[in-house]
Chain A
Amino acid sequence: MNLLTLVLGIPLAGFLILLVLPKENYELIRRIALLVSVTAFFLSLGLVSPVWQAAPGDYALEVDAPWITTLRIHYHAGIDGISLWLVLLSTFLTPVCVLISWRSIASKVKGFFAFLLLLEFGLIGVFVSLDLFLFYVFWEVSLVPMYFLIGVWGHERRIYAAVKFFLYTMVGSLLMLVGIIWLYNRTGTFDLPAILGMISDGRLNLTHAEQIPLFLAFFLAFAIKVPIFPLHTWLPDAHVEAPSAGSVMLASVMLKMGTYGLVRFCLPLFPLASRACAPWIITLAIIGIIYGALVAMVQPNMKKLVAYSSVSHLGFVVLGVFSFTQIGMDGAVYQMLNHGVSTGALFVLVGYMYDRRHSLEIADYGGVATVAPWLSTAFMITMLASIGLPTLNNFIGEYLVLQGAAQENFTWAVFAAIGVILSACYMLWLYQRVFFGDTPEAVASHMSDLRIREMAAMVPLIVLMVWMGMASQTFLPSIGASTAAVIERTEAVKEIRVESGASLLAKVKEIWHAR
């Protein structure tokens, strides 16, 4: 059996196993969920070397089996340097989520872990699909477990947040469905490599007028998911109301579905439109970077602060993608992973604090460092990673994105850099208010330090932050090989544009001389 299919199938098998277990036996359910997710993670490590060995721009571990023959829909899966790491991120964070939910989820335990595994199945599926229909199926399927995770196990306004999350995403993805069907009717296939092949050898020639609406149909779905300003309003609600594990999966992996979609589908399929819309999208991304950071600064609620910081961080990713430079794109993909690790870790830690103090309000805390030193240390490292301190992961990603942006347009980099400064402001200020100062009685009596199980979830995250900051060469070469292929697909178009620009200039000169 193909290893990729196995990695995809294990969470689904785990979901089905959990469904038939007796619902009273909490301990058994937790252990099986942990076992399944850890197995999936270790198996997914085996995906790395095939990708490293694959030729640049090729997919490793490809499987292509007919599924719905009437419409030539295939189960076509494969990974490259972009999807590999996102799959690993999903399989890595699921066991972490199982661990942090061990005690904090005390009711309806069976349902919770079942939905968590189903979510993992959906997320992996999104990243490995090379068939547009298959991609759409996973895209929507991952919505359902997340909807339940927020709606059933979330905080006070959970229902509102869950429904908003579902509807927002659904509206966007329906327009994408129109785009997918339109492409199918035009090409007769849902197969992404096949369609890309048609584009490069000229059998499918989408004009500018066709590309723009198609691009927008796909872009809207992805932009909602990222989320790109001004489509971000579902995000603070969903993040704040979700249980810790839900917030972690949402911020770390689900948002990446959007940016991944931009890189995998929008750019290669509609290069003309992507280039044409890039200035507008970059403007929105930069607004998002600064706006997200400013709003994060004034949040009284820790989770909301982290949520808005996500809006800001994801702006960097979008900026990197639409800079159309190799460095910027590498940085964007790397930043997806960094954000997944560091923001995931922030949500884990905020979740730990909520478990103890039962509050997310910053005002309810203070002086935590004196009563819970380990927790404070972990938070410190994570916070510094999130700010972008050199030697920790986010620095590399942000630096590459800024470098790429500067290559295209220096002004972009200047504005985006403001976001980096602001992120230091809100994070340090948060840290100061929560961990330093006097320790109120309520904090002193509730804030015990990290337990072994909690450490077990946190240590791998911190190790990864340092690793990704110090040894980015583990990741970047394979990412670079795949992003280069994406850029190449849009590069051909750029030449045309430059050419037409040059000819325009020549024409102007001609007219000038004629006068």
Chain B
Amino acid sequence: MPVNFVPSGAEMLRILPEIILVLAGTLIMIMEPLTRPANKHFLGKFALASLFAALWGSVVAHANPGPAFQNMLIVDGFDTFFRILVIVVGILTVLASFQYLKREQSDSGEYYALILFSLVGQCVMAGANELIMVFIGLEISSIATYVLTGYLRDDKRANEAAIKYFLLGSFATAFLLYGIAWIYGLTGSTNLTEIRSALMDLQTSPSVMLVGTAAALMLVGFAFKVSAAPFQVWTPDVYQGAPAPVAAFLSTGPKAAAFAIFVRVYATAFDSISARWEPLIWISALLTMVIGNFAALVQNNIKRLLAYSSIAHAGYLLVAMTAHSEIGIAAIMFYLAAYALMNVGAFAIVAHFSRRRERYLQVEDLAGLGWKQPVTAGLFAIFLLSLIGVPLTAGFFGKFYIFKAALEADLLWLTILGLLTSAVAAYYYLRILVVMYMHEAGEPASTLPPPGAGLKTALWASAVGTLILGIFPSLVLDFAGRSATLLK
């Protein structure tokens, strides 16, 4: 059968967002040396515009669902959900970065181009239907984020973080690649659907031991990317060292995409050996929640605190993963959307508050902010309450849905232990609220300039989104539920 290697028009439409992002990113790189320093801010606006175009592109792609490029990519509801999610994260990050980069006097096109490239990788991950594409997407996304982490060249901490992230990240990716190689050797395919049917077929199915080993190897790679225990060690150092807006991006965008592909591979390809990987993820989920929440208790640096909190939230997501059901997948999708909004918001405020060279990062520095800048602090309070999981915020409903899925899958102990660790979590988020509202205002809070227009937009958008998802979750939940059903 002759294979037509020229992609059809419909197939091109299906990767429209990626095309837009790549073109825009490349264009920014070209324009960068041609732009005078005074006009650099224009590049950021261009990046923003291209992100909105990519958002539109995802909607167009969604109208033409189906596989593309010999089944390498697939455009379905699941893919669209994550594409939109990461692009929205990109928009919020870019909005929150304008003021930050200007303040650090590092406003340049590279930054925006790298964000766009990283998003390309994440979009590819979301739609990958093929282990090679998984790997390619992961690498495109990761390499851009390694660079972004060390973006502030003169900052020692940022350099250290970038090196650490890069070395550990490459190491973890190697595990993933090794697992992919095993799978290819065992089933003769890298396509998820084919692997699935190869493993389902009892006649030809290779030994469970070997497949299990391959799945475990790949688990190492994914667990690293989503910062699940015991592969979470890099997270606090990297988030702390990276520029705050980059940390906002890292903790939400790549994480969401990594979860997307994690879910797709395990729910599709490895569905038939779920009895093998579920216990592993059970243990990892519990460990992640315990380590994240308890370690966060003793942090004084807000970025580090949010990093540990980010680990803990990965733990909740793994609980839903352990449930291994359609509701579980929908819960993961919803929670990632909720988490993206509240966490980008929280990090954006930290970025703004920390001032030049990120001087003010101790929890105590926030003293009295609640009464000095009620609006900024009020928005921060919404994000924190959502992270705690107080009803009427997205965080609550997300958690509720995750634990509902877990109970439905009879994971009673994981549910109870998980909820108890989330009560522990309330303590460290409350500490920030205590300092903000119940301590006398200190110098850092009194001298805080009001947020700029871009940041303000990002903060309000995230806060309103957090509340809307909390009060009317059906808007997103229904879509997530439908996409989860189609996944298999």
B40 interface residue per 8 A CB criterion: no
How many contacting A-B pairs (Cβ < 8 A)? 78
Task: State whether A174 touches B419 (Cβ < 8 A).
Answer: yes
B426 interface residue per 8 A CB criterion: yes
B33 interface residue per 8 A CB criterion: no
B371 interface residue per 8 A CB criterion: yes
What 1/0 mask marks residues of chain A from 5 to 30 whose CB sits below 8 Å from any chain B CB?
00000000000000000010000000
Chain A nearest CB: distance from B221 CB in Å? 33
Chain A nearest CB: distance from B245 CB in Å? 29
Given contacts A144-B390, A163-B427, A166-B430, are A185 and B404 in contact (CB under 8 A)?
A: yes
A511 interface residue per 8 A CB criterion: no
Task: State whether A141 touches B392 (Cβ < 8 A).
Answer: yes
B279 interface residue per 8 A CB criterion: no
A136 interface residue per 8 A CB criterion: yes
What 1/0 mask marks residues of chain B from 447 to 488 whose CB sits below 8 Å from any chain A CB?
000000000000000000000000011100110010000000
What 1/0 mask marks residues of chain B from 394 to 410 whose CB sits below 8 Å from any chain A CB?
00100010011001100
- CB < 8 Å neighbour of B473 from A68, A178, A182, A185: A68
Chain A's closest residue to B404 (CB) is: A181
Q: Which residues of chain B are near A137, meaning CB under 8 Å?
A: 391-392
What 1/0 mask marks residues of chain B from 29 to 63 whose CB sits below 8 Å from any chain A CB?
00000000000000000000000000000000000
Task: State whether B437 touches A151 (Cβ < 8 A).
Answer: yes
SS class of chain B's interface: helix, strand, loop or mixed? Answer: helix
What 1/0 mask marks residues of chain A from 150 to 161 whose CB sits below 8 Å from any chain B CB?
011000001100
Task: State whether A144 touches B385 (Cβ < 8 A).
Answer: yes
Task: State whether A175 touches B481 (Cβ < 8 A).
Answer: no
Task: State whether B392 touches A185 (Cβ < 8 A).
Answer: no
SS class of chain A's interface: helix, strand, loop or mixed? Answer: helix
Chain B nearest CB: distance from A175 CB in Å? 7
Chain A's closest residue to B434 (CB) is: A159
Bound Cα distance from A141 to B386, whole angstroms: 12
Chain B residues 401-451 with CB under 8 Å of chain A are: 403-404, 407-408, 412, 415-416, 419-420, 422-423, 426-427, 430-431, 434, 437-438
B230 interface residue per 8 A CB criterion: no
Bound Cα distance from A318 to B298, whole angstroms: 39
Given contacts A23-B374, A151-B437, A185-B404, are A70 and B390 in contact (CB under 8 A)?
A: no
Bound Cα distance from A185 to B478, whole angstroms: 18
Task: State whether A136 touches B404 (Cβ < 8 A).
Answer: no
A162 interface residue per 8 A CB criterion: yes
What 1/0 mask marks residues of chain A from 166 to 179 whose CB sits below 8 Å from any chain B CB?
11001100110110
- CB < 8 Å neighbour of A69 from B416, B423, B431, B474: B474
Task: State whether A152 touches B438 (Cβ < 8 A).
Answer: yes
A361 interface residue per 8 A CB criterion: no
Chain B nearest CB: distance from A94 CB in Å? 21
Bound Cα distance from A108 to B477, whole angstroms: 39
Chain B's closest residue to A171 (CB) is: B423
Given contacts A108-B371, A151-B437, A181-B404, are A171 and B392 in contact (CB under 8 A)?
A: no
Chain B's closest residue to A172 (CB) is: B423
Chain B nearest CB: distance from A169 CB in Å? 10
Given contacts A140-B391, A182-B407, are A68 and B474 in contact (CB under 8 A)?
A: yes
The contact size tier of chain B is 20 to 34
A52 interface residue per 8 A CB criterion: no
Bound Cα distance from A143 to B388, whole angstroms: 13
- CB < 8 Å neighbour of B477 from A70, A140, A182: A70
Bound Cα distance from A152 to B390, whole angstroms: 19
Task: State whether A152 touches B420 (Cβ < 8 A).
Answer: no
Chain B's closest residue to A153 (CB) is: B438
Q: Which residues of chain A are near B407, meaning CB under 8 Å?
A: 178, 181-182, 185
Q: Which residues of chain B are near A431, meaning CB under 8 Å?
A: none
Q: Which residues of chain B are near A184, meaning CB under 8 Å?
A: 404
Bound Cα distance from A169 to B390, whole angstroms: 12
Bound Cα distance from A322 to B434, whole angstroms: 39
Task: State whether A178 touches B478 (Cβ < 8 A).
Answer: no
- CB < 8 Å neighbour of B481 from A70, A170, A178, A181: A70
Task: State whether A171 touches B420 (Cβ < 8 A).
Answer: yes
Chain A nearest CB: distance from B395 CB in Å? 12
Chain B nearest CB: distance from A275 CB in Å? 25
Q: Which residues of chain B are near A162, meaning CB under 8 Å?
A: 434, 438
A148 interface residue per 8 A CB criterion: yes
Q: Which residues of chain B are near A159, meaning CB under 8 Å?
A: 434, 438
Candidate in B391, B404, B427, B477 with the most chain A CB atoms within 10 angstroms: B391
Given contacts A143-B390, A174-B423, A182-B407, 12 further A-B contacts (CB under 8 A): A23-B374, A70-B473, A70-B478, A140-B391, A140-B396, A141-B390, A147-B430, A170-B423, A175-B416, A178-B403, A181-B403, A185-B408
A residues with CB within 8 A of B: 23, 68-70, 108, 111, 136-138, 140-141, 143-144, 147-148, 151-152, 158-159, 162-163, 166-167, 170-171, 174-175, 177-178, 181-182, 184-185
B residues with CB within 8 A of A: 371, 374, 385, 390-392, 396, 400, 403-404, 407-408, 412, 415-416, 419-420, 422-423, 426-427, 430-431, 434, 437-438, 472-474, 477-478, 481
